[in-house]
Amino acid sequence: MTYDRLVCANCAAPVNQGRCPVCRANRARMQQEGGPLGGLSPAALVALLVLLVTVMALVAHRTA
């Protein structure tokens, strides 16, 4: 899950804005746990998957 859509229960602001200490702590925790692809939106992940499948299909087609 991306933190850009989460709303803080403490201050009712978006977590990615980091308005209160709770927001900032949760934003930092989610950034650390996210890994290399954690910041990408689901649409971007799907686009990367489609690109990967397309490249693999092209490579398989050229070797056959």
What's the pLDDT tens digit per position in 24-56?
888 888 777 766 766 677 888 899 999 999 999
Buried b (16+ CB within 10 A) or exposed e, 9-23: eeeeebbbebeeeeb
3 pLDDT higher than 80 = no
Nearest residue to 17 (alpha-carbon basis) of 30, 28, 4, 29: 4
Task: Report the pLDDT averaged over residues 4-14.
Answer: 84
12 vs 55: which has the higher pLDDT? 55
pLDDT value, residue 2:
59
Residue 14: its pLDDT value, please?
86
The Cα angle at residue 34 between residues 30 and 38, in degrees rounded to 5: 120
Residue 1 has pLDDT above 60, yes or no: no
Give the pTM.
0.47
